[in-house]
Structure 1
Amino acid sequence: MTATFTTILEGLEVVMGLGIHPQELAAHQRVIVSVRMDIDYPASPSEDRIEEVLDYDFVREGIRALAAKRHFALQETLCEAIAALCLGDARVRQVTVRTSKPDIYPDAAVGCEIVRGRG
Structure 2
Amino acid sequence: MDIIFLHGVRAKTLIGVYEWERIAPQVVEVDLEIGIPSPRACYSDQLNDTIDYAKVVDRLRHVLAEQHFLLLEALAEYIAQDLMREFAAPWIKVGVTKLGILHEVGRVGVQVERGHRG
Q: Deviations over 1:39-81 (max 9, x none)?
A: 2315452232211211122221111111111321111111111
Q: Which runs of 5+ in 2 are unaligned?
A: none
Aligned pair 1:15/2:15, yes or no? no
Q: Which of 67, 73, 83 is the aligned partner of 1:86?
A: 83
Q: Is the 8 A contact 1:35 1:97 kept in 2?
A: yes
Aligned pair 1:73/2:43, yes or no? no
User: How is 1:99-114 mapped onto 2 (pairs within 5 angstroms)?
Assistant: 99-108=96-105, 109-114=107-112
> For the structure 1 residues 22 and 42, does the alpha-carbon distance in structure 2 shift closer, same or farther, using more than 3 Å as the test?
closer
Q: Is the 8 A contact 2:41 2:47 kept in 1?
A: no
**Counterpart AA for 1:79:** A
Q: Which runs of 5+ in 1 are unaligned?
A: none
Aligned-pair distance for 1:35? Answer: 0.7
1:105 and 1:16 map into 2 onto residues whose CA distance is 17
1:42 and 1:7 map into 2 onto residues whose CA distance is 11
Q: Is the 8 A contact 1:59 1:85 kept in 2?
A: no
Compute the TM-score of the two structures, normalised by the length of structure 1.
0.86
| Structure 2 partner of 1:50 | 47
1:103 and 1:27 map into 2 onto residues whose CA distance is 15
Aligned pair 1:5/2:6, yes or no? no
Structure number with the higher helix fraction is 2
Aligned pair 1:40/2:37, yes or no? yes
**Counterpart AA for 1:117:** G
Q: CA RMSD in A?
A: 1.8
What count of residue pairs does the alignment treat as equivalent? 115
2:46 and 2:67 map into 1 onto residues whose CA distance is 35
| Structure 1 partner of 2:24 | 27
